[in-house]
Structure 1
Amino acid sequence: MNTLRAYDINIVGLEKKRYEYDFTSDDAFFAALDQDLIPKGNVQTHLILDKSETMIRLDLHITGTVEQTCDRSLDEYDELVDTQQTMLLKFGDHNEELSDEIELIERNTATINVARYIFEFIILSLPMKRLHPRFRDEDDGSDDEQNGKLIYRSDDEMTDENNQPPIDPRWAALRKLNDN
């Protein structure tokens, strides 16, 4: 837990203005978080803290690489991370997470720890499909329609002048009966 103490920011003594911080997160950071999503990594975070009367705005720019395991080959590879995110900490009577980007914190909070925000924003920036870079060219350049993988396409179905989909002849016969 001492590793995460480096991410504490004392907000009690801060004046109402803008502050800048830089953090480097390495393998010890990811190990201290007690999680299995990212085993290793090396990321740099530039944090701009803007304190006002009613809230604290955190603008984070996170760059670096994290180790991932390919879903296809199970090979480990380094995934690039480059994301900019904003977190708002509003002063209130209790602690509560209002949304992904807005949290209430008690007015008498002395320090905030930004390690959790950094980790969450790294996770959000990673692709859902973890693919080793050597497989990405295969998937990115392929047209699903040419490979017979087309599941649904709505733009070509509209063939009539009135933007009506083509009618099955069986339904057309039933509509004639209904029109009479």
Structure 2
Amino acid sequence: MKSLKQYSIPHTGLKIGHHQFSYEVGGSFFDEFEYSLVKNGALSVELSLEKQETLMVLDFRIWGTLQVNCDRCLSDFPYQIDTADRLIAKFSESDDLSDAEEVVVLGKNDVEIDVSSFIYEIINLAAPYVNLCEDPGNTSACDQETLEKLKELSVSEENSESKDPRWDILKSIKKN
């Protein structure tokens, strides 16, 4: 958690107005989050913070390259992201206010806001749900040996020697 200390912004010392913060996110950042879907990457984060009397508006812009595992051949490949998101941090005396989707409530005893978890969430939301490269099987990152083994082990309709008549009945339902 020591490597995430740089993502804490002490808001009590900030004057009202606009403030800019820049961060570089890499493998050590993702190592701090257990069970992270993203394991590595080289990303730049620009944070524009506008402090007002009762709230702060945080605008994030994150761009760079994630290293994700291909769902087909299991090798790592680079995936480009460029995303933006907004977060509102509201100052409140009462602790009974719950966090909304893009609103975080800061209590009177909070002196800083840790943006690392928000950066992590934005990156994970920008990561692809299905990890396939642009041209599966034809890029330098693809594991050709694994793809050949998959092709060898896959069963197509043309290669199947024994056909089960129950499947033909189901196929006729699909056509209707």
TM-score range, shorter chain: 0.7 to 0.9
Aligned residue-pair number? 137
Per-residue deviation, residues 40-99 of structure 1 (Å, max 9, x unmatched): 111110000001111111000101111111112212111111101100111122273211
| Higher-Rg member (1/2) | 1
Q: Is 1:57 aligned to 2:57, yes or no?
A: yes
Q: Could you tell me whether the CA contact under 8 Å between 1:96 and 1:105 is conserved in 2?
A: no
What is the one-letter code of the residue matched to 2:119?
Answer: I
Pick closer, same or farther for the CA change 1:136–1:73 going to 2, 3 Å.
closer
- 1:135-159 superposed Cα distances (whole Å, 9 cap, x missing partner): 299xxxxxxxxxxxxxxxxxxxxxx
- Which residue in 1 is equivalent to 2:78? 78
Which secondary structure does the structure 2 equivalent of 1:133 belong to? coil
Query: 1:96 matched to which residue of 2?
Result: 98
Q: Which residue of 2 aligns with 1:116?
A: 117
Q: 1:136 to 1:126 in 2, by over 3 A?
A: farther
Instruction: Show the counterpart of 1:106.
Output: 107
Runs of 5+ unmatched residues, structure 1? 138-180
The alpha carbon displacement at 1:107 in A equals: 3.0
AA at the equivalent of 2:62: I
- 5+ residue gaps, structure 2: 139-176
Identity of aligned residues (%): 28
User: What does residue 48 of structure 2 align with?
Assistant: 48
Q: 1:31 to 1:87 in 2, by over 3 A?
A: same
Q: Which residue identity is paired with 1:134?
A: D
TM-score (norm 1): 0.71
Residue 3 of structure 2 aligns with an amino acid whose one-letter code is: T
Describe the shift of the 1:105–1:119 C-alpha distance in structure 2 as closer, same or farther (beyond 3 A): same
Partner of 1:129: 130
TM-score relative to the length of structure 2: 0.72
Counterpart Cα distance in 2 of 1:2 and 1:15: 26
Q: What is aligned with 2:143? A: none
Q: CA deviation at 1:29?
A: 0.7
What CA RMSD, in Å, does the superposition of the two structures yield over aligned residues? 1.9
Please tell me the residue identity of whatever aligns with 1:128.
Y
Q: For each residue in 1:94-131, what CA deviation from the matched residue of structure 2 results, as whole angstroms up to 9, or x when unmatched? A: 273211x1121213310111111111001111221111
Q: Which amino acid is 1:31 matched to?
A: D
Runs of 4+ more than 6 Å apart: none
Are the equivalent residues in 2 in contact too, given 1:75–1:132 (CA < 8 A)?
no
**SS of equivalent residue, structure 1 residue 121:** helix
